[in-house]
Each structure stands twice: as C-alpha cells, then as structure tokens.
Amino acid sequence: MAAPPRNRAMTDGTGRPDEFGFIATYLAPLAEGCEGALGLKDDAALFSVPPGQSAVVTSDALIAGTHFRITDPADSQGAKALGVNLSDLASMGATPLGYTLILALPPDWTTDWAQGFTAGLAEYQDRYGIKLLGGDTVAIDGPLTIGVTAIGSVPGGGQLTRSGAAAGDDVWVSGTIGDAALALALSDRAGRLDAPDYAHLLTRFERPQPRLALGRNLIGLASAAIDVSDGLAADLGHLGRASGIGAVINVESLPLSGAARRCIEKEELSAEIVLNGGDDYELLFTAPPQSSGAILAAAEKSECAVSRIGNTNDGDSFRFIGKSGEDIDLETSGWTHF
Amino acid sequence: MAAPPRNRAMTDGTGRPDEFGFIATYLAPLAEGCEGALGLKDDAALFSVPPGQSAVVTSDALIAGTHFRITDPADSQGAKALGVNLSDLASMGATPLGYTLILALPPDWTTDWAQGFTAGLAEYQDRYGIKLLGGDTVAIDGPLTIGVTAIGSVPGGGQLTRSGAAAGDDVWVSGTIGDAALALALSDRAGRLDAPDYAHLLTRFERPQPRLALGRNLIGLASAAIDVSDGLAADLGHLGRASGIGAVINVESLPLSGAARRCIEKEELSAEIVLNGGDDYELLFTAPPQSSGAILAAAEKSECAVSRIGNTNDGDSFRFIGKSGEDIDLETSGWTHF
C-alpha cells in the first residue's frame, strides 16, 4: 500500500494528516488482525484461497455525486462502496476473502468524513468477516472517488454466472425491489411521506445488503444469477442476453416493501420506477421449476426472502405484463454510466 | 464487470460508444483468451492461484496531471498504469496472474485516446503474460482516473517484504535511478539536450519496466525489498523503518544512465534530483554480504543490472555520503501524494 508514518509535520493547518498519517490513522485499523495485509506497510498484500476453491475478483468504482450523494452520511459511503462489490461476489455465489481500496480525496476532505467513512467500512467488514488488504490513497482535483476490489472464492467450478439460464426456467428475485430508486425519486417530497417509510427507503439506498448467504446457498440450484444494480429490467436483459433466452415478468409478482407500496400509491407513481430504478443490490436468478422447493429452502436457510416473478422462454425479448396479461411498455431500460 | 452491448444508440454525436460499447470495443479484446474473465460480461471474474503458492494483491491509482501528464502519449498512460502495479508485485517476488481496471473517464475523452490507452495495456499484458480480468468503467466530472488492481502469486511463505533487512546487509538497487525525475525536471529544457539522451529519460518516465524476473529470482536471497516509486531516499527510509535498521549510501555508487549523467553535467544539477525524484520503478533491496555472488548471478539470469550502493547498520538514520565520505544533506526526502 504505502509506508509507515514519517516524522513529518501535518500537510496543512486543518489537523488533517498527510498520506502516511491517513493510512496509519484511518486505514491501518481496518487491516488489524489480517496477517497478509502486512499492516498496510508493504507494496502488496498476501491472501489465501481455500484449497479446492476458485478465486473470484471484482472491482467497482463509486464517484461522489454520481453513485452516491455528497450529502449521504460518510459511513453509508463506506458501507456502499464495500457493499456493492460484495454484491457482485454474491451474484457469483462467492464468499468474500478481503478487499483493496483506492481512495482519491478531493481538496476539501475532512477528518470527520474520514472517521465516518472508515466506520462504515468497518461495520461491513465485521458483518461479512473480512479485512482491508491494501490499496492506494491519492489526491484528486475532482470528486471523491472510491475504488474497491473485492476478492472471494467459490467451490471449484461451482460459480454462478449470467449465462446458464435455459428456456422454461423460473425467474426469481431476492428481497424487495425499487426501494432505493424511490428514495432518490422522492427525496424532494420526503416531508410529505410517512417518516418511517421514507427512512426505510433511504436506508435501502444508502446501505446495500449484499446477498452473500443466499448466493452461496444457490450454488447447484440456480441456473444463472446477476445482482440488480442497474435496475431490474436492465439486469434481466443482461442475464437474458448472456444466456440466450427471453423472459416474461409478471409485474404484479414483484416484491415491494410496504414502504415502497405506500409511497407509490400516495405519489401515484408507475411501475417503471421499480423496474428501471437502480441500486437494489438484490439477486435476480433463474432455476428450473422443479427446483422451486429447494430454492425456497435455500432462501430460508439464508434468512432472505425470494419471490418468483416470471419465466424464461426461447425468445429474445423481455416482456413485463400487468394483472390482465397486458404489456407494460418501458420507455427506457435502466440507466447507463456514461 | 458490466454487460454486453445493448441495442441502443451512441450517447452523443462524437462517435464515442456508451459504457457497454466501450467495454465491448476497447476492453473485451484485453480479456480474450482468458476463460476466467468471462468475456468481461459477468459480475466478477475467476482466477486460479497455482498450488503451493500464496496470492498477492496490490492496487494503485493514477490520476491525470498528478501521476502522469495529460500530454503523455495515451499508450504510455496504459503502460504506466499497469507497469507501476506490476512493479509492486515485483518487489514482493511475485509473478503476475492478472489484473482488474477501474477507469473514470472525463467528459472529453476521445476514441483515439481509448485506442492508444488500451494498446499500451495490451503491450504490457503481452510482455508479462497476463490478461484483463474485469473492472468498472464510469464517468467522472474531473481528471481521468485509472485504478489498477494486480494479482499475482509467490511460492508459499517465500515473499519478499520491506521488513527483513538486518544490520550489516548490503544495499542494492536494480537498473539506473533518476532518469524519470530528470525527464520531468528537464522537460522545459529538452531542446537544449542531446535528443537521444532526452528520449531515453522520457521513455523511462513514461514506460516503467517492472523488475518481475529479478524480484522472482531474489526470493531466498534478498532480506528485504521495495520498489523505488517515491524516490530512492524516501523508499530507503520506508524499507529501513520497516526493518528497524539505518543505512549509509555512497552517492558515487548510484547507477546512473549515460543519458542521466550527461544531462546532470550539462545542466549542473545536484545529486538531490536522483535521490529524491520518483518514478524509477527499480528494486531497492538488501542482502547479507555473503550473498553478493548469488545476487549477481540472479541479476544476470534476470537480464537486469544491479549495483551495490551501501550498507545497513543498527542505527535509525539514512545517510548519503559523497566521494570523500562527506554527508550529503537532503533538504526533503521524496514526495508525498497529498
């Protein structure tokens, strides 16, 4: 990563440490107890992949103002940066082993922010049993940029991918969808909404819950899986095209939280926001119909609800149908990153 | 990483593809032939660590205008982003297995840049026998930001670290030092210098050569190692503090390229630029004196020159002495990142 703190003055009068002080103060505690991290004081870190397992790696960047709001609590920025990467591991059925962190700090970063941000990382580290392995801290004349690389492992050859779905499979999704998108869409109307309902949506936006236990327990059961980050419609398209199948989704079957249902009703929103909104970080997966009992058992074991929302077919279109079988036309299909 | 290209229009009138088109056009070719990369179309990538080896990971970020110049050729930006990470692996004695890439593109990126950048990555991939495993491509309202995470392996327990040096060891450095710093310092005087000399310095700045073969061949011989990225004086300090030793360096023994020697002489520069300048990406390492024959043999096998430049001691200071044993006082000790 970098180096031990030097015997040198702070870089400015704000009480903020320099690069090495930053690592020693804020990041080294996140590596404590992880022998391979070498105290974040060496050039690279060591990690072990359990025998018989394949290693899995994913890198995701979050940029302030794009992937989270600058006004989001600092701890949620840390939680989200780690959470969205762990969600990618979850969608492969992988168990996390550790992560590295690239942090590009804008000129106005504060020690309060650094404390909050690393507290969010620490919370997610503890929850999922991993440590910080290494990384790089640099200055940027631009927005705060957070790059996380998460490393995990799956039983050799057992990984879930996007490409295994077959025509006739059931389509499932975990948890509830649309909450995070609703939090964003309704942020200027928050005062009009029931406070606990809005708080629920906001927590879902700020603190994604990677479905790691579910992903692990779906190995050998699900034919394909993806995590819902770009919106259910878009991610269904990604999975479907990778597998060479089409799908029909019953919009009535989509799992909505009570909070989402009440906010949609009150604000007279359409289903589009649920289908196109991003940041759900639920697992969207497929499985043959005869596996449904096993899927439900795996979900229970994982303490994570799952819902059957449609079926795949040998077409190449992705239809969303309403209560009476009518097509719901989606103007756009998810968001793009640039 | 992300998703297959969608059937959707370009995002603007410049002929630039959107995120998925960018991945398909520029990045997917970098993953070709690597089964575990899953065509950059899945959530995470798979890689294997050879039996009996420990996995090694390092992440480094490069920001345009800070870690490279916006005017540097696009291919050298790619080469440098990968090269500096591979240099971190080299300093642990590791062999690279693959890498992930985070790319934050500013609004004015061009397809010419993208082609050049990925050509530089491809060149270094080919040279070191690795492929792109995955990553993330996002937009940034700020400078081009490149994050690379390189993954490698070392024979179990054999890794080089910064902390193994003992008092009485020889201090060695590979290749030549100061070239890259001289290229930067003399860029406004380039016209006054011998053209091939300046071209040599510039290549050293733009295209770091990670000393992977040397690092690998130093396993079991070197007591400690670090790559020289912050400047020889600063990195010697990092290694020395990690090992709990001091050192005396004979400035006359520092390996300078002919080009560096001539440019220093012509421009009447002091030794400071060689000791404090960054971006050498050479290996600085220590070894007991009785290993010197084996070190030279390892260097020959690695086709990489090495020079003995001083000795460690049981103090905690890092002295640089001139021809007559006089101390050379270094005002500053390397650069910091913020």
Q: Which of A143, A159, A336 minimises the CB distance to B18?
A: A336
Residues of chain B contacting residue A139, judged by C-beta atoms under 8 Å apart: 63, 66, 337-338
Spell out, as residue ranges, where chain A has pLDDT lower than 50: 1-10, 332-338
Note whether residue A263 is domain-resident.
Answer: yes
Domain final position from B108, B132, B155: B155
As a whole number of angstroms, the distance between CA B35 and CA A111 comes to 43
Q: How many domains does chain A have?
A: 2
How confident is the model at residue B7, as a pLDDT?
36
**Three-state SS at A46:** strand
**Three-state SS at A338:** coil
As a whole number of angstroms, the distance between CA A261 and CA A92 comes to 30
The verdict on A91 touching B (C-beta cutoff 8 Å) is: yes
Note whether residue A314 is domain-resident.
Answer: yes
Residue A246: CA count within 13 A, CB half-sphere: 9
Note whether residue A122 is domain-resident.
Answer: yes
As a whole number of angstroms, the distance between CA B328 and CA B330 comes to 6
Same domain, A197 and A66: no
Note whether residue B208 is domain-resident.
Answer: yes
Task: Using CA atoms of A133, B97, B95, B274 in order, give the dihedral in degrees to the nearest 10.
Answer: -70
- Exposed/middle/buried for residue A117 (C-beta within 10 Å: 0-12, 13-18, 19+): buried
Q: Among all residues of chain A, which has the CA nearest to that of B43?
A: A88
Domain final position from A155, A183, A209: A155
Residues of chain B contacting residue A141, judged by C-beta atoms under 8 Å apart: 65, 142-143
The verdict on A215 touching B (C-beta cutoff 8 Å) is: no
The verdict on B44 touching A (C-beta cutoff 8 Å) is: yes
Q: Which of B104, B142, B336 minimises the CB distance to A61?
A: B104
Residues of chain B contacting residue A161, judged by C-beta atoms under 8 Å apart: 38, 42
The verdict on A133 touching B (C-beta cutoff 8 Å) is: yes
Q: What is the CATH number of the domain that holds A261?
A: 3.90.650.10
Same domain, A142 and A276: no
Provide CB contacts within 8 A for B111, sequence distance 6+.
Answer: B14, B15, B16
> At residue B99, what are phi and psi to the nearest 5 degrees?
-155, 160
**Buried-state track B135-164, b at ≥16 Cβ within 10 A, e below 16:** bbbbbbebbbbbbbbbbbbbbeeebbbbbb
**Contact flag A55-B46 (C-beta cutoff 8 Å):** yes
Give me the residue label for tokens 């050879």.
Answer: B50
Residue B248: CA count within 13 A, CB half-sphere: 13
How confident is the model at residue B157, as a pLDDT?
86
CB atoms within 10 A of CB A100: 29
Helices (H), A96-188: 111-128, 179-185
Same domain, A200 and A74: no
Q: Residue A35: which of B287, B159, B152 has the closest Cα?
A: B159
Separation in Å, CA B253 to CA B177, B212, B308: 11, 23, 7
Same domain, B125 and B193: no
Same domain, B245 and B148: no
Note whether residue A280 is domain-resident.
Answer: yes
Note whether residue B94 is domain-resident.
Answer: yes
Q: Residue A299: which of A308, A288, A309, A312 has the closest Cα?
A: A308
Give me the residue label for tokens 């095209």.
Answer: A241
Q: Which two tokens stand for residue B32?
A: 């070709």
Spell out, as residue ranges, where chain B has pLDDT lower than 70: 1-13, 331-338
As a whole number of angstroms, the distance between CA B81 and CA B206 comes to 10
**Three-state SS at A50:** coil
User: Largest Cα–Cα distance in chain A?
Assistant: 72
Q: What is the CATH number of the domain that holds A142?
A: 3.30.1330.10
Same domain, A44 and A148: yes
Note whether residue B336 is domain-resident.
Answer: no
As a whole number of angstroms, the distance between CA A39 and CA A45 comes to 9
**DSSP symbol at A112:** H
Same domain, B143 and B34: yes
Same domain, A130 and A198: no
CB atoms within 10 A of CB A185: 17
Q: With contact defined as beta carbons under 8 Å apart, do A247 and A311 qualify?
A: yes
Same domain, B95 and B234: no
As a whole number of angstroms, the distance between CA B196 and CA B329 comes to 32
**Contact flag A149-B59 (C-beta cutoff 8 Å):** yes
**DSSP symbol at A191:** G
Note whether residue A83 is domain-resident.
Answer: yes
As a whole number of angstroms, the distance between CA B239 and CA B221 comes to 16
Residues 247-286 of chain B whose Cβ lies under 8 A from any Cβ of chain A: none
**Contact flag B61-A138 (C-beta cutoff 8 Å):** yes
Q: How far is CA A331 from the centre of its chain?
A: 25
Same domain, A196 and A233: yes
How confident is the model at residue A272, as a pLDDT?
86
Q: Which two tokens stand for residue B209?
A: 């050569």
Give me the residue label for tokens 């992903």.
Answer: A215
* HEC string for chain B: CCCCCCCCCCCCCCCCCCHHHHHHHHHHHHHCCCHHHHHHCCCCEEECCCCCEEEEEEEEEEEECCCECCCCCHHHHHHHHHHHHHHHHHHCCCEEEEEEEEEEECCCCCHHHHHHHHHHHHHHHHHHCCCEEEEEEEECCCCCEEEEEEEEEEECCCCCCCCCCCCCCEEEEECCCCHHHHHHHCHHHHHHCCHHHHHHHHHHHHCCCCCHHHHHHHCCCCCEEEECCCCHHHHHHHHHHHHCCEEEEEHHHCCCCHHHHHHHHHHCCCCHHHHHCCCCCCEEEEECHHHHHHHHHHHHHCCCCEEEEEEEECCCCEEEECCCCCECCCCCCCCCCC
CB atoms within 10 A of CB A216: 22
Q: Among all residues of chain B, which has the CA nearest to that of A104?
A: B61
Same domain, B125 and B177: no
Same domain, B108 and B210: no
Provide CB contacts within 8 A for B270, sequence distance 6+.
Answer: none
Strand blocks (E) in chain A: 45-47, 53-63, 95-105, 132-139, 145-155, 170-174, 224-227, 246-250, 283-287, 306-313, 318-321
**Contact flag A163-B91 (C-beta cutoff 8 Å):** no
Q: Which of B57, B149, B338 minimises the CB distance to A47?
A: B57
Beta bridge partner(s), residue B134: B100
Q: What is the pLDDT of residues A146-161, one digit of tens each?
A: 999 999 999 988 999 9
Domain range enclosing B315: 170-321
